[in-house]
Amino acid sequence: MSLFWKNWLVVWAVFVTLFGLVLAGGGWAATDAPTRVILNLLGGSTFPGDDRTFRISVGLMGAVTFGWGLTALAVVRYVIEDPEQRRALLGPVTMALLAWFVLDSSLSILNGFALNAVSNVLIISGWVAGVTLSKPRGS
């Protein structure tokens, strides 16, 4: 795999991990400012900072996204160079990300957050492009 595509996927995974931290910050009033900005941009609504159910939902979503990003980073850094492990893991990881994409984007659109679905297209495209274009020749 070329260094460019390996770096592409590492940057993608780091971005997802950091985004998870930003979302997790929405779970606590002292750290929710970046989360407020993102949610207001994506949905045009206000962040109900006094709603504990909303806070725990956003905070947990951030924690899951953080773990998801770290998992992708581990796959990229330690598995992608080994052709056998690459075949064994990248397909299932990609399918899992596609399942997330369909569910998250559908729920976003149904609840009036279509711009979140657009951002999901960019996220999934970054992963699929990196995985597809980083395939060793002859694979």
DSSP state of 134: T
Average pLDDT of the chain, as a whole number: 88
Residue 8 forms part of a structural domain: yes
For 89, the domain range is 3-133
Residue 138 forms part of a structural domain: no
What's the confidence (pLDDT) of residue 44? 64
Residue 54 forms part of a structural domain: yes
What's the confidence (pLDDT) of residue 78? 79
Least confident interval from 91-95, 115-119, 134-138: 134-138
Q: What is the pTM of this model?
A: 0.86
Domain count, the chain: 1
pLDDT in tens, 73-95: 999 887 777 777 887 888 899 99
Asked if residue 97 has pLDDT above 90, the reply is: yes
Residue 139 forms part of a structural domain: no
Residue 32 forms part of a structural domain: yes
Amino acid at 35: T
Residue 119 forms part of a structural domain: yes
